[in-house]
Chains A and B, each alone.
Chain A
């Protein structure tokens, strides 16, 4: 069962990622990225990370991808034109990617002592996770909430129309 689920959702993952590269319309790329992220949530569930699986769906395929599709629609992003890209990317970039993938694959396949994943084994419950998160890592957690707050303020300040005052927005809302 685990094997079948792994192959199905790993296949979805890779197909979605390749489709993201092949599509020329940003909205299609965004939708295939949602496929990748949702199948990753299933893979997290297979690895026993149940909280992360739900967080992946809510945060990634929910919140972040909604932001992406919203921006694609807002900016009315059309078909991208294919150009050759920069010369540096062609000469240095692609061989570097291939070399990196080859090195990573060799290291992973030669690694000793990597275990196996089976169903119903090594499940991390949300209780275990929150115990560590709120006892040992409370300060980083709170610092991240400040980071999110600053990011919200920054996003509003950046995306606001040039020269608009808060009064304008209220007037438009009415």
Chain B
């Protein structure tokens, strides 16, 4: 095969930007507490992809280590966040973000 084999890194960055934007859109349109939380994970993944892309561009190992730290913090965040969701469900018996509005003006 003779077609161009290499992928420009800009495409990876565009994919990362698209994933981040889809995460933000999900954060805005989803009405379920758990799916809103999943959209945040999607945003984190999009950012991780651009970290790995730039680590490849500059042959920098520290970029990949940063992704590793993001993963660990995301694991901690998921554990605590889901525990908070369970606690909210126990006290209010709903997962709809429209009905969890105690602190809303």
| A interface, CB within 8 angstroms of B | 1-3, 6, 10, 13-14, 17-18, 20-21, 26, 29-30, 33, 36-37, 40, 43-44, 46-49, 51-52, 55-56, 59-60, 63-64, 67-68, 71-72, 74-75, 77, 80-83, 85, 89, 93-94, 97, 100-101, 104-105, 108-109, 111, 114-119, 122, 124, 128-129, 132-133, 137, 140, 144, 147-148, 150-152, 154-159, 161-162
Contacts and interface: CB of A to CB of B under 8 A. Distances in A.
Given A49-B52, A68-B78, A80 B28 contact: no
Interface size band for B: 35 or more
A154 to B, nearest CB: 5
Contacts of B56: 47-49, 115, 117, 122
B102 interface: no
A79 to B, nearest CB: 9
Interface string B70-105: 011111111110111111011000011010000000
B86 A158 contact: yes
B2 interface: no
Given A33-B41, A64-B41, A116-B6, A77 B25 contact: no
Main secondary structure of the interface of A (DSSP, over half): helix
Question: 5 closest A-B pairs (Cβ-Cβ)?
Answer: A151-B76, A158-B83, A116-B6, A80-B32, A159-B83
Given A21-B22, A75-B95, A97-B28, A108 B10 contact: yes
Contacts of B25: 21, 94, 97
Given A21-B25, A147-B76, A152-B79, A68 B38 contact: yes
Nearest to B67: A52
Contact of B74 (A1, A64, A97, A116): A64
Interface in B47-71: 48-49, 52-53, 55-57, 59, 61-62, 64-65, 67-69, 71
Contacts, number: 240
B7 to A, nearest CB: 5
Interface string B7-46: 1111111110111111111101111101101110110010
Interface of B: 3-15, 17-26, 28-32, 34-35, 37-39, 41-42, 45, 48-49, 52-53, 55-57, 59, 61-62, 64-65, 67-69, 71-80, 82-87, 89-90, 95-96, 98
Contacts of A122: 56, 59
